Amino acid sequence: MLAFRSGPPPKGFKKDFESFLFNTREHRLTQARTGWREFYLLNKERNKILALVAFCVQNKKASSPLRAPFGSFEISVNLKLSDLKEFIIEVEKALVKAGVSKIEIINPPALYSTYHNRLVAALLNQNYTPIQCDLSCSIPVDQTPLLEKINKGKRKQLRHGQKAGFTFKKLTLSKLNDVYVFIESCRLERSQKLSLSLKELQRTVNVIPKAFQLFAVYQNNRIISASVCVQINKSILYTFYSAHLKVFDNFSPLVFLLSHLYDLCHKKGISLLDMGTSTIGGKPNFNLIDFKIRVGGILSPKFIFIKELKG
């Protein structure tokens, strides 16, 4: 027997899926302290949560997430499409009662889950409009070494980096300020900005430190590339911020960095290394997309949906 619930889930109920970091209560509260509305689909016979979604309601708009790479619905692989549709309908009814007139949902990349197509089909069937499709790119981690996945040119750059004496290090979170300032300076070299200030990122790291990891590439004790990585769940590592010094473009130390992150994922049983989106201002950055494909990445659509609600 399935039941719809608005508000926190009842005690004793467990999720029939693994949540993504950005949908956890801990991360949601770093986005906004108040305004959250939670909805659950429960199997009361099995004490299981089969689906959930959380929206932050501000000025008659419900956003999932409010400020994170993605939010959206999370569902069990066993949930039928018809039941998912009914869950979405019940969520909409509850939001209308709360005075919401517009919904915005940012989906995770398609490669993140086996239920992606089912969720997209359900949203489209409920007249949600896709207003943007960002292009995420991830490297599946398996028994094949990354060296065999990257193209000839990037393989050559990787070997150049090895010969040049590049070294890879995992840093403690106490180095967050140094890593952030370095990445920010690299972005400024390319007339780009970071989406979060150091203060905002530090606040999130302070709340959920176990989700963040810092890595860097050095040459002769000089940092030349770095990455702030986020553990999305047990299976996915996300390179949230990455950069290298422009003067090292010919060596592409990011390839060296990715090769070590790939090996690290393999050792820890992580099956997907997400290199992030390749969209700037809603438009594809084809040079960046080409780079990620050349290092073994697979493109994955990441949709933003909206819907106007009528009371």
Q: What is the pTM of this model?
A: 0.94
Q: Is 218 found in the same domain as 129? A: no
Q: Is 100 found in the same domain as 17? A: yes
Q: Is 155 found in the same domain as 108? A: no
Mean pLDDT of 37-63: 97
Count of structural domains within the chain: 2
178-229 pLDDT tens trace: 999 999 999 999 888 899 999 999 999 999 999 999 999 999 999 999 999 9
Q: Is 256 found in the same domain as 148? A: yes
75-86 pLDDT tens trace: 999 999 999 999
What is the extent of the structural domain holding 154? 142-270
Q: Is 181 found in the same domain as 121? A: no
User: Does 81 map to a domain?
Assistant: yes
Q: Is 6 found in the same domain as 36? A: yes
Q: Is 8 found in the same domain as 129? A: yes
Q: Is 27 found in the same domain as 129? A: yes
What CATH number corresponds to the domain at position 55?
A: 3.40.630.30
Q: Is 181 found in the same domain as 122? A: no
Distance CA 25, CA 141 (A): 28
Q: Is 214 found in the same domain as 96? A: no
128-169 pLDDT tens trace: 999 999 999 999 999 999 999 999 988 888 888 888 889 999
Q: Residue 279: pLDDT above 90?
A: no
Q: Is 107 found in the same domain as 190? A: no
